[in-house]
């Protein structure tokens, strides 16, 4: 008996080719949406090959009527066999052949590549498995779409998969779209034409009667009805497409107002606050690595500055490298950056230098110029190259590059950058301070601001204002780092006390090696910080940059040593960017003890008697109570306003009582948790207070999470709350075998109170007030119990369904010999009866 004919066999090759061609075109249009994410053409090649391979797999599976158990292994083979070439080329041998590294990346990429593609600043390049997003999306969506259109009549469902790829490109895209109107019009025109053709073809093919000749097939082009509809529809779509393309300027939304990118809301994984400010190691280079070759750099000349890190936030202790979660924040964000891609469009003056690491170690990467356009990793072993590529970060606002894995001897990378150029005389004359936001500095006190105001003077230009400030700081100042024996004592560091001492009169003792001098004595570290913080006190946008200066007379390939370390100040000017200033005085002055100035005694002043008080003016008639005529019979005093005031005060009083009751209820609940029950219950009550505060602040914790997971989430939002320690101590108290002394409970609750204060301090005042009077925490436990019961019921239903399926399977697999044997015995008994 012949097998039943499939839908695939009943469709003509022409119709099948049209379906594949149309769906392939829609997939390609959707694929181009990744252009702003990847850049270049590598992702296009990856997507096209995934589309071709998925179509071939779907065609083979439809031809031989394969099910999922046969199609899935073939897709896995395609994924790993060709994935090294098209999705993981950085780990493949010669970029083509699979290796253990590429196969490992493909194995973990379905889990890790999605986050990597969202956390790397576009263009994301090809490292870290980011191409797997296109590879997997195209393979799976194209396979499903082609399989459905080849094996079923659900062509509308097949059309949804190219639309899904379009949505994926939007999710992983940026705020900029690639030809949005052109791609949208093409996608709409092709979709409408194909869907209409499939619908009309199916309707005419199934028609029982027609008004045309019997020799003409209803779905044939000779059918005049079909021909008129096709031509009319094509004309209408052409007119609509032309109108849409012509009105593109009107259809495009304003830049940055409509389109939002998911990557802008993903928290960057690098936090500079976890690392010590590089400026604190300034004296270390001079003391310990003065003659050591830190790194070599090519293509530079004497006097050029090499940027190590930009410090833009002062906290009275150190000048820190700031970095937040939002790239548009004043401090910017350290976003993961792909190597070997153009971060900016290069100008005609772009230069390229190669940095080769020697004795230098750290996470901060030396760069040059005022803007980094490209970072290419050098010829390194695959393991080291992969580690550098996966940990490369760049803060666009501060132009600070970081490799979180740490640089070490032998590492090499190439930097393409825009060189820095000094301002012209005309630019200095017209320069205006930029109106930009910077990370807030800690306040130094009114003395710094008063001195800064005096020193800037009354000049006309902003450039001269800052020059006056810098000139007064360097006036009567002396350069010394206190390292050599004949140097004047000069303390390291740039905390508040060190800066305050620099504003005092010069005082020191050459005979004492541990002297703590006062006055403006220091090196680039102290003078750069003092200049920047005083500028910030009067609203001048300034920051400190630490780096190295190429020795004078050097050119070409230059070795940078610790003796070349320096620091400078950058000030932002409107339309000119960040302008560099040298804050330190010349190092050829020897400070001397100043002579005390003779202060002339002031002449005694005689106090003058105060002037006599002025006579009060005469009031007009009737202004005083004596002049007013007395009423013989005063009118009755009305109390209607009292009634109205009482009615108006009732809602206010009720609201006040309700809010007070909420606060009192929370206090009573807190005291009961702290004082009642066993010691583990009291400690768990402290942890419940943390969860209640989270709930009241609008961040209800997931009941499925453990204490450690909730603490990790809380530490990411409020780093100083100490939630991890509270969670671990609560776990030990609840699940630990040892008994705890009562003093541990009081100590734990004190830590809970401190954590609650840190959590409330991290939000604005209006959110603190809302959390204080919120009732969410009273409903949290009941909501968790209801959710727990729902999960138990769902699990019970799943178990019941599994048992029913298992029972049905056992019945299907049960032997049928008993039934057959009964029938045979009945037949034999009948035959015996006949005989």
What is residue 643's three-state secondary structure? helix
- Decide: pTM greater than 0.75: no
For residue 274, CA distances in Å to 271, 363, 370, 571 come to 6, 11, 26, 27
Displacement of CA 168 from its chain's centroid (Å): 19
* pLDDT of the residue at 685: 83
Run of H or E including 781? helix 776-813
CB 267 within 8 A of CB 353: no
User: In whole angstroms, how far apart are CA 781 and each of 664, 670, 735, 776?
Assistant: 19, 15, 20, 10
Buried-exposed string 74-108: b where 16+ CB fall within 10 A, e elsewhere: bbeebbbebbbbbbbbbbbeeeeebeebbbebbee
DSSP element (H, E) containing 617: none
Cis amide bond preceding 27, omega within 30: no
pLDDT less than 50: residues of the chain: 1-3, 208-210, 213, 256-257, 592-640, 817-835
CA-based torsion, 696, 697, 698, 701: positive or negative: negative
- Minimal CA–CA distance to 433: which of 355, 541, 333? 541
Alpha-carbon separation of residue 69 from 72, 96, 649 (angstroms): 6, 29, 74
pLDDT at 217: 54
Predicted pLDDT at 5: 59
Nearest to 401 by CA among 422, 417, 378, 419: 417
Contact (CB, 8 A) for 327 and 267: no
Residue 432 and residue 462 in contact, taking contact as beta carbons nearer than 8 Å: yes
User: Can you give the pLDDT at residue 828?
Assistant: 46
Residue 593 confidence (pLDDT): 43
> Which residues, at least 6 apart from 539, have a Cβ–Cβ distance to it below 8 Å?
433
Q: Residue 621: its pLDDT value, please?
A: 40
d(CA 196, CA 202): 10
pLDDT score, position 245: 61
- List, in sequence order, every beta strand (DSSP E) within 346-435: 351-357, 362-365, 367-368, 371-377, 392-395, 400-407, 412-418
- Given its phi and psi angles, is residue 677 left (phi above 0), alpha (psi -120 to 50 degrees) or beta? left
Q: What is the pLDDT of residue 255?
A: 52
What is the DSSP pairing of strand 521-522 with strand 478-479?
A: parallel
Structure-token pair, residue 601: 């005694």
Q: What pLDDT, on a 0 to 100 scale, did the predictor assign at position 612?
A: 45
């Amino acid at each position: 008996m012949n097998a039943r004919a499939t839908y695939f066999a009943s469709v003509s090759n022409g119709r099948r080719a049209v379906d594949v061609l149309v769906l392939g075109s829609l997939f390609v249009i959707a694929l181009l949406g990744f252009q702003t994410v990847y850049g270049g053409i590598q992702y296009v090649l990856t997507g096209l090959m995934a589309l071709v391979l998925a179509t071939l797999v779907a065609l083979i599976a439809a031809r031989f009527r394969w099910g999922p158990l046969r199609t899935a292994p073939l897709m896995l083979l395609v994924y790993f066999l060709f994935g090294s070439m098209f999705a993981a080329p950085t780990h493949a041998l010669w970029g083509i052949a699979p290796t253990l590294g590429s196969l490992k990346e493909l194995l973990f990429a379905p889990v890790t590549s999605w986050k990597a593609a969202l956390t790397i600043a576009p263009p994301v390049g090809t490292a870290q498995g980011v191409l797997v997003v296109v590879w997997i999306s195209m393979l799976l969506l194209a396979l499903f779409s082609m399989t459905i259109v080849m094996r079923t009549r659900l062509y509308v469902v097949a059309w949804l998969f190219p639309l899904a790829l379009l949505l994926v490109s939007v999710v992983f895209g940026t705020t900029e779209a690639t030809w949005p109107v052109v791609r949208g019009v093409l996608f709409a025109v092709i979709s409408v034409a194909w869907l209409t053709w499939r619908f009309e073809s199916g309707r005419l093919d199934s028609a029982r009667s027609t008004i045309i000749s019997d020799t003409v097939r209803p779905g044939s082009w000779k059918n005049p009805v079909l021909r008129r509809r096709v031509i009319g529809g094509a004309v209408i779509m052409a007119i609509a497409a032309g109108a849409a393309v012509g009105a593109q300027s009107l259809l495009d939304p304003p830049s940055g107002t409509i389109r939002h990118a998911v990557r802008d809301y993903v928290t960057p994984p690098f936090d500079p606050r976890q690392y010590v400010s590089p400026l604190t190691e300034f004296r270390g280079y001079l003391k310990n690595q003065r003659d050591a070759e830190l790194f070599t750099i090519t293509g530079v000349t004497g006097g050029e500055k090499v940027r190590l890190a930009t410090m833009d936030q002062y906290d009275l202790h150190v000048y820190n490298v700031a970095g937040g979660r939002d790239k548009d924040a004043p401090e910017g964000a350290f976003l993961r950056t792909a190597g070997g891609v153009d971060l900016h469009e290069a100008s005609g003056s772009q230069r390229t230098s190669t940095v080769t690491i020697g004795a230098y170690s750290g996470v901060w990467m030396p760069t040059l110029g005022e803007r980094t356009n490209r970072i290419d990793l050098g010829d390194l072993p695959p393991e080291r190259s992969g580690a550098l590529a996966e940990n490369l970060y760049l803060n666009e606002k501060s132009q600070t590059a970081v490799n979180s894995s740490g640089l070490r001897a032998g590492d090499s990378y190439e930097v393409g950058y825009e060189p820095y150029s000094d301002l012209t005389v005309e630019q200095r004359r017209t320069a205006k301070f930029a109106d930009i936001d910077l990370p807030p500095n800690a306040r130094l006190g009114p003395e710094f601001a008063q001195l800064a105001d005096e020193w800037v003077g009354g000049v006309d230009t902003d450039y001269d204002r800052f020059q006056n400030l810098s000139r007064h700081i360097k006036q009567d100042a002396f350069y010394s780092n206190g390292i050599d024996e004949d140097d004047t004592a000069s303390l390291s560091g740039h905390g508040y006390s060190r800066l305050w001492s620099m504003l005092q009169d010069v005082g020191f003792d050459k005979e004492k090696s541990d002297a703590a001098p006062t006055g403006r004595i220091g090196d680039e570290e102290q003078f750069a910080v003092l200049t920047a913080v005083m500028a910030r006190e009067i609203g001048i946008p300034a920051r400190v940059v630490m780096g190295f200066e190429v020795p004078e007379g050097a050119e070409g390939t230059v070795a940078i040593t610790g003796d070349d370390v320096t620091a400078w100040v950058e000030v932002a000017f409107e339309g000119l960017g960040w302008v560099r200033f040298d804050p330190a005085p010349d190092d050829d002055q020897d400070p001397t003890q100043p002579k005390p100035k003779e202060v002339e005694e002031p002449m005694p002043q005689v106090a003058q008697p105060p002037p006599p008080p002025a006579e009060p003016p005469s009031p007009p008639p009737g202004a005083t109570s004596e002049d007013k005529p007395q009423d013989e019979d005063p009118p009755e005093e009305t109390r209607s306003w009292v009634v109205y005031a009482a009615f108006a005060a009732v809602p206010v009083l009720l609201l006040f009582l309700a809010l007070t009751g909420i606060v009192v209820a929370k206090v009573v609940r807190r005291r009961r948790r702290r004082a009642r029950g066993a010691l583990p219950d009291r400690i768990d009550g402290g942890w419940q207070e943390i969860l209640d505060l989270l709930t009241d602040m609008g961040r209800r914790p997931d009941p499925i999470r453990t204490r450690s997971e909730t603490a990790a989430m809380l530490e990411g939002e409020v780093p100083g709350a100490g939630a991890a320690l509270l969670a671990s101590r609560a776990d030990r108290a609840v699940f630990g075998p040892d008994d705890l002394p009562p003093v541990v409970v009081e100590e734990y609750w004190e830590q809970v109170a401190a954590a609650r204060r840190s959590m409330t301090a991290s939000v604005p005042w209006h959110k603190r007030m809302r959390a204080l009077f919120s009732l969410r925490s009273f409903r949290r436990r009941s909501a968790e119990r209801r959710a727990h019961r729902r999960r138990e019921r769902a699990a019970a239903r799943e178990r019941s369904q599994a048992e029913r399926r298992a029972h049905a399977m056992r019945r299907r697999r049960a032997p049928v010999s008993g039934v057959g044997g009964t029938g045979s015995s009945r037949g034999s008994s009948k035959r015996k009866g006949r005989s």
